[in-house]
């Protein structure tokens, strides 16, 4: 199902990201970080499942029992810090994301705009937020 990330509440966005991180190894051909149930334990429901409603007036979605997967790459860790810093700020609506490139570098997404480095980002507030997240990552994950 297609999802418009600009229409998601911050908690829904976090859940979507967590699900994407869980599914990423499976999509790339590896094994999933979450163990899959054995066929003998799977119970199929006979009731049809309707898609979730994502309107602002919809009732809050109950928390799923999905364990939050912590990012394992440097870019993923910095993006996690960035996302936590952006929550509740005007920059949260801009859809700022850090994604690891195929070459191992970083791709900065601001909405639908793609930048190959932090210095290419035209919005100085977004640049400052990313640099701040990088500084926090350095303090947290680098020795000394």
Q: Are 97 and 109 in contact (CB under 8 A)?
A: yes
| Angle formed at CA 82 by CA 80 and CA 85, multiple of 5 degrees | 110
Hey, what long-range contacts does 106-115 have (CB within 8 A, 24 or more apart)? 106/75, 111/6
Does 79 share its domain with 25?
no
At 15-73, the pLDDT tens digits run 777 777 777 777 676 554 444 444 444 454 555 655 665 555 555 555 555 666 677 78
| Position 74 in a domain | yes
Residue 41 in any domain: the answer is: no
Domains identified in the chain, total number: 2
On whether the CB atoms of residues 132 and 86 are closer than 8 A, the answer is no
Is 0.85 surpassed by the pTM of this model? no
Kindly state whether residues 65 and 96 are assigned to the same domain. no
Three-state secondary structure string covering 54-100: CCCCCCCCCCCCCCCCCCCCHHHHHHHHHHHHHCCCHHHHHCEEEEE
- Whether 49 is covered by a domain: the verdict is no
Query: Edge to edge, what strands does the sheet with 96-100 contain?
Result: 96-100, 106-110, 113-115
Distance CA 23, CA 38 (A): 18
Instruction: Report pLDDT digits (tens) over 80-114.
Output: 999 999 999 999 999 999 998 888 889 999 999 99
Q: Which domain holds residue 83?
A: 70-144
Indicate whether 64 and 79 sit together in one domain: no
């Amino acid at each position: 199902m297609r999802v418009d990330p600009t229409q998601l509440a911050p908690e829904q966005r976090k859940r979507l990201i967590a699900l994407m991180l869980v599914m990423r190894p499976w999509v790339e051909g590896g094994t999933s970080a979450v163990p899959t149930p054995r066929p003998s334990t799977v119970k199929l429901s006979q009731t049809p499942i309707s898609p979730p409603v994502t309107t602002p007036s919809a009732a809050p979605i109950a928390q799923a029992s999905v364990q939050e997967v912590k990012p394992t790459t440097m870019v993923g860790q910095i993006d996690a810090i960035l996302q936590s810093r952006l929550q509740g700020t005007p920059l949260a609506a801009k859809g700022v994301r850090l994604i690891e490139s195929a070459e191992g570098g970083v791709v900065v997404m601001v909405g639908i705009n793609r930048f190959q480095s932090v210095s290419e980002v035209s919005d100085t507030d977004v640049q400052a937020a990313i640099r701040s997240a990088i500084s926090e990552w350095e303090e947290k994950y680098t020795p000394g």
